[in-house]
Structure 1
């Protein structure tokens, strides 16, 4: 079974401001706004980073999960981590064995995503997705590859999750992802999940590690209360 980090998602109260900073500081170009997120009371913006995706969502209705997240964490932050697998049924079996609930099945032409209950995993909403063709990504629209810009950053290498009990949270993510934990790290076929002690904001996504583009200056910035660094 293959599984890799494929998409990182942040939530922002001010979508336009977040988009502008992503464009200015990470050198990325908007590829798509998915009308399908309207069912969750959201609007969004998607940016390709190589063959990975960065998404920002923002509530447009009261009472949304994303809105409650903004209130709980005291502002913008990391929201979801989405993985691509080539064996979705094996993933279902892992969730059942671990006692992790599927709260939503997102389906579109060529893709199926299983959203997991955040209370069962912790740190972020996790989705494990399978595409009919490995590497395709219908969530990003039909022309996302045309908008890839790698002058500043070229790939998503990892996600850092902070937790009051990072060892316990790492074990829960390990059960979901089907990969072992070593020194609070879970290595995937592409991408690494790292777990650290929580700061004052509590459990959640602390930041992202990106691959620096050739000859580009390293990135070290904070957008939507998430630290972005490149190497």
Structure 2
């Protein structure tokens, strides 16, 4: 297994609208996507895009994409993040997501190491295959593994 790019940090929130206002008004975020529903995963989602890396000349380096903050709000009462929000009513960091070049190979490698995969590989919010690894096998962090989007390279 080789560590890939940190794609995003998932932040559970009781209100995407309130979180958008926070990132815009407090943190100065200027690039925030429109929220959309992912009922098959039980969440509403939007992305706060952080600035891309600058070369120092004021020009963005096109090889470096900014990491995203993925805001996730429960879609309904069956959402898997409801239990997280019961323990953390204000919301908070829910997971980290790393990219891999091939999701099937990564899953096989994690399983060979005895890491517990949570559920089947499925399509995530970026439209690419994902799976989650149990936090007890990842030093306490729920970890999403995502196949690198093909258009990113």
TM-score by length of 1: 0.51
Q: Which residue of 1 aligns with 2:123?
A: 107
Asked whether the equivalents of residues 106 and 115 of structure 1 are also in contact (C-alpha less than 8 Å), the reply is no
Once the 2 structures are TM-superposed, how far is the Cα of residue 99 of structure 1 from its aligned partner? 1.7
**Whole-angstrom CA distance in 1 between matches of 2:120 and 2:136:** 14
Q: Which residue of 2 aligns with 1:92?
A: 107
Unaligned runs of 5+ in 1: 137-231
Q: Which residue of 2 aligns with 1:71?
A: 86
1:24 aligns with 2:25: yes
Alpha-carbon displacement from aligned partner over 1:126-149 (angstroms, at most 9, x marks no partner): 11111352736xxxxxxxxxxxxx
Change (3 A) 1:25 1:104: farther
TM-score by length of 2: 0.73
**Whole-angstrom CA distance in 1 between matches of 2:143 and 2:17:** 25
Change (3 A) 1:128 1:62: same
Query: When the two structures are aligned, how many residues end up with a matched partner?
Result: 135
Q: Which residue of 2 aligns with 1:6?
A: 7
Question: CA-atom RMSD, angstroms?
Answer: 2.6
Pairing partner for 1:83 from 71, 95, 98: 98
Alpha-carbon displacement from aligned partner over 1:195-215 (angstroms, at most 9, x marks no partner): xxxxxxxxxxxxxxxxxxxxx
Asked whether the equivalents of residues 135 and 141 of structure 2 are also in contact (C-alpha less than 8 Å), the reply is yes
Q: Which has the higher strand share?
A: 1
Change (3 A) 1:77 1:121: same
> Structure 1 residue runs of 4+, over 4 Å off?
none
Change (3 A) 1:2 1:10: closer
